[in-house]
Structure 1
């Protein structure tokens, strides 16, 4: 289905782009440690900036992680099920648990981001860094997670979920 391909591609691209943020905040941390330890001149901004970059990194990779089935799963019950039963159980889990959570996350993060944006919210401390971009990233992450959930749900009901494969048994 084209919609599955589009959603998967969007989250793949976002995941690859956002993964570069880890390199950026690692570089800032190394710079700050060098400035503090070697030159005795700590930066006033590095801690707040790395905290926000880590927030972007962590929150925006949710859809990418779901696409690659990297979220924590408890397969104690489903591992013993037949493939069709496992597939429909997972689909029911999306309907009962995932979609209500993802919808609430999306709706509330939008309200949260708009409140921050309208107030021009900034961090407290030596350097005032805008907070609303990070809160807007929460909304974007919620949307990416929700649409990836739609993709995964469609894969399940169309029997295209690659992570649901028959168990390989070894014959002795």
Structure 2
């Protein structure tokens, strides 16, 4: 059961990491199109700004779980690096499972409520001349937050059961 949960969390994180990479391509393509349309043809788009902020937000949130899986988030560990591995694992496990996971699960829940409300009301971006529907954006953010909550639970379990060996750069004193 535990291994299945960890494998599912990892699989979702990896998959969403690939989707985040695709979002980078969408962002680049839309910005290149906007630059050419604006400066070569004098015809700026109505949608480029919206695509830029939405794809940037989505790529960061969808990639967060994969970054956690790979231990790629920035961490300031000048105190914890001096602690025994089991103590660091216990601190990480407790923080991930009992503090961060519930916070991000609640944020995902709020995001789901917001996405559903936007879908039901046909909410559009009001400050944009393009006025795109907002529910796809909110849904993507919700998926990313839920995946991060699931990966936090998986990493919390891993930290409690078998803490990672610290491979970080050490300054010699």
**Coarse TM-score class (shorter-chain normalised):** 0.7 to 0.9
- For 2:54, the equivalent position in structure 1 comes to 52
The counterpart of 1:136, out of the listed 134, 139, 150, is 139
1:86–1:33 distance in 2 versus 1, CA, 3 Å: same
What is the distance in 1 between the residues matched to 2:43 and 2:92?
54
1:95 deviates by: 3.6
Q: TM-score, normalised by structure 1?
A: 0.87
CA contact (8 A) 2:111 2:142 kept: yes
- For 1:165, the equivalent position in structure 2 comes to 166
- For 2:23, the equivalent position in structure 1 comes to 21
Instruction: Note the aligned Cα RMSD (angstroms).
Output: 2.2
1:19-56 Cα offsets, whole Å, 9 max, x none, are 11111111111111111111111112222222222222
Aligned length, in residue pairs: 169
- For 2:108, the equivalent position in structure 1 comes to 106
CA contact (8 A) 1:122 1:129 kept: yes
What is the distance in 2 between the residues matched to 1:106 and 1:52?
17
What is the distance in 2 between the residues matched to 1:49 and 1:169?
41
Long gaps (5+) in structure 1: none
CA contact (8 A) 2:97 2:157 kept: no
CA contact (8 A) 1:83 1:166 kept: no
1:75–1:31 distance in 2 versus 1, CA, 3 Å: same
Matches within 5 A, 1:1-172: 1-124=3-126, 125-159=128-162, 161-162=163-164, 164-165=165-166
